[in-house]
């Protein structure tokens, strides 16, 4: 058994031992991503938008670009390298959350989206305190996805690496792929 699966079962064995932690992890795995998105968008509108509307526009473009590439790459990987969720491989898995799809586990979309949101704040030059805050939220979301039984730790690492790679290449993707496609589509419909 892989290290990722061993770690998963060690974490999964904790379900039911602390009801308060189960509830917290359920909420974190299911809803905290919306709270993170709210904080990032609010920061973008009220802080970044007031200081530099151009930077806010760039943040929105980077988020849209990286989200599209993230989902495309994530589902491409899932189709080529099939890794089902833990419940499919191990029906005895304890679960607090029942995902819509069970065929795709690697990489974790919640993790990649969370770190893309947090990373966009870093790219736009947020202060240290807010940057740490959003990174902590992204980390909690990622850990909670393992805790509630829907992802292996390797899925979380895959989502993080995907987000990190996309953030490193975000400007290039935007300038060389997204923006030219947008310009082409606008020209086509005008």
CA distances from 171 to 18, 147, 165, 167 (A): 44, 34, 12, 8
**CA neighbor of 139 nearest in space, from 110, 104, 171:** 110
Q: Tens digit of pLDDT per residue, the chain (190 long)?
A: 899 999 999 999 999 999 999 999 999 999 999 999 999 999 999 999 999 999 999 999 999 999 999 999 999 999 999 888 999 999 889 988 888 877 899 999 999 999 999 999 999 999 999 999 999 999 999 999 999 999 999 999 999 999 999 999 999 999 999 999 888 888 888 7
Q: Residue 36: left if φ>0, alpha if ψ -120 to 50, beta else—which one?
A: alpha
**CA neighbor of 129 nearest in space, from 43, 34, 28, 38:** 43
Q: Which residue has the tokens 């994530």?
A: 74
CATH number of 3-180: 1.20.144.10
pTM over 0.85: yes
**CA neighbor of 98 nearest in space, from 175, 186, 26:** 26
pLDDT number for residue 30: 95
């Amino acid at each position: 058994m892989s290290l990722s699966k061993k770690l998963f079962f060690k974490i999964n064995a904790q379900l039911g031992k602390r009801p308060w932690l189960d509830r917290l992890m359920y909420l974190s795995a299911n809803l905290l991503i919306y709270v993170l998105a709210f904080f990032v968008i609010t920061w973008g509108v009220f802080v970044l938008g007031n200081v530099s509307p151009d930077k806010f526009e760039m943040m929105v473009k980077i988020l849209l670009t990286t989200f599209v590439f993230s989902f495309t790459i994530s589902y491409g990987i899932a189709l080529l390298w099939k890794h089902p969720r833990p419940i499919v491989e191990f029906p005895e898995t304890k679960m607090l959350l029942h995902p819509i799809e069970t065929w795709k586990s690697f990489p974790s979309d919640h993790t990649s989206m969370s770190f893309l949101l947090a990373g966009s704040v870093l790219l736009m030059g947020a202060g240290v305190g807010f940057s740490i805050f959003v990174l902590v939220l992204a980390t909690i979301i990622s850990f909670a996805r393992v805790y509630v039984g829907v992802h292996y730790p390797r899925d979380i690492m895959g989502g993080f690496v995907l987000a990190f790679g996309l953030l490193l290449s975000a400007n290039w993707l935007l300038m060389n792929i997204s923006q030219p496609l947008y310009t082409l589509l606008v020209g086509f419909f005008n």
